């Protein structure tokens, strides 16, 4: 359990079971963010049971993936999301209704009797992360660290001037990890903000040196926006990096809670993950 600055939430970490069923789901309290880890490779052995939890549209979508591994990741991560959301709202997984925001982001229609839940999900290779909060907008992103590309080339297209300068100043052996730390922190923030492709990645600066803590350093054109957010790394298994953005000020109440399911994320071609 980790404590954020005053006004933010307490983050509690949990591990999902690899088989769907009656999971022990602790209550999501006011002022908390729950982060769940799901091992997609381990859960793949129960693929049929996870598939049963999806809607007809989700099953069709799973069938359209070109590669089986991508379909498995989608099925398990989406079914896990349904299980957790249903548990938090005391519903069955098939009772959840999703809508799409004006920015093309899927979201959950809140039940009249419940306080809306903010949520976010990301998966890369065999790891999925799912984050939930009662009132704080949140964004989470995980990436498997790769070394089969030149980080400086991609950073010139997607990072801010200051981020590119920091990356170029690092020793070459640190640049790939720094690139992915920067990328996950930026992705987490734009997913939490909820504006998708309309929020340029070069409009804000994050820390990226692997030896420094996660931080939202600057936002433009409103420089005061940075103070409204907490950006932090999520400790994951070796070979991956992950980050989470949490809004310190609570989001306005709404009947529809929009949340990225990691399919509208901006990703360079060389760093694709579903």
Q: Each residue of 157-197: pLDDT tens digit?
A: 899 999 999 999 999 999 999 999 999 999 999 999 887 66
Q: Is there a shared CATH topology between the 2-140 domain and the 143-250 domain?
A: yes
Supply the pLDDT for residue 171.
95
Question: Is there a contact between 149 and 271 (Cβ–Cβ < 8 Å)?
Answer: yes
The arrangement of secondary structure in 2-140, i.e. its CATH architecture, is Alpha-Beta Complex (3.90)
| Residue % of the chain over a pLDDT of 70 | 81
Domain boundary assignment for the chain: 2-140, 143-250
Q: Each residue of 62-76: pLDDT tens digit?
A: 999 999 999 999 999
The tokens describing 150, both together, are 């030149």
Three-state secondary structure call for residue 190 = helix
The tokens describing 155, both together, are 């950073």
pLDDT classification of 201: cutoffs 50, 70, 90: confident
The arrangement of secondary structure in 143-250, i.e. its CATH architecture, is Alpha-Beta Complex (3.90)
The tokens describing 133, both together, are 């909060």
Report the distance separating Cα 40 and Cα 273, nearest Å. 13
Three-state secondary structure call for residue 80 = helix
The tokens describing 145, both together, are 């660290």
Please compute the mean of the pLDDT values over residues 254-268 and round it to a whole number: 48
Instruction: For Cα atoms 197, 99, 258, give the angle at the middle one, nearest 5 degrees.
Output: 55
Q: Each residue of 142-160: pLDDT tens digit?
A: 999 999 999 999 999 899 9
Check residue 69 and give left, alpha or beta (phi > 0: left; psi -120 to 50: alpha): alpha
Residue 224 has pLDDT above 50, yes or no: yes
């Amino acid at each position: 359990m980790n404590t954020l600055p005053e006004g933010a939430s307490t983050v509690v970490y949990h591990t999902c079971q690899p088989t769907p069923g009656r999971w022990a789901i602790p209550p999501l309290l006011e002022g908390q963010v729950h982060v769940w880890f799901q091992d997609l490779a381990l859960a793949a052995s129960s693929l049929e049971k996870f598939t049963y939890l999806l809607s007809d549209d989700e099953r069709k979508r799973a069938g359209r993936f070109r590669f089986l591994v991508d379909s498995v990741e989608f099925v398990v991560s989406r079914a896990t999301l349904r299980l957790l959301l249903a548990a938090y709202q005391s519903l069955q997984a098939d009772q959840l209704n999703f809508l799409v925001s004006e920015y093309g982001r899927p979201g959950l229609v809140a039940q009249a009797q419940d306080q809306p839940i903010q949520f976010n999900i990301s998966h890369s290779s065999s790891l999925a992360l799912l984050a939930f909060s009662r009132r704080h907008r949140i964004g989470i992103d995980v990436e498997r660290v790769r070394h089969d590309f030149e980080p400086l080339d991609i950073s010139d297209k997607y990072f801010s001037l200051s981020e590119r300068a920091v990356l170029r100043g690092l020793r070459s052996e640190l640049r790939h990890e720094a690139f992915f730390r920067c990328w996950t922190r930026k992705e987490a923030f734009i997913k939490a903000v909820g504006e998708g492709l309309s929020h340029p990645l070069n409009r804000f600066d994050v820390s990226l040196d692997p030896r420094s803590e996660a931080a939202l350093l600057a936002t433009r054109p409103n420089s005061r926006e940075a103070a409204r957010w907490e950006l932090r790394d999520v400790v994951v298994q070796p070979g991956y990096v992950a980050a989470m953005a949490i809004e310190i000020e609570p989001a306005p109440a709404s009947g529809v809670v929009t949340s990225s399911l990691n399919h509208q994320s901006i990703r360079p071609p060389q760093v694709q993950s579903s």
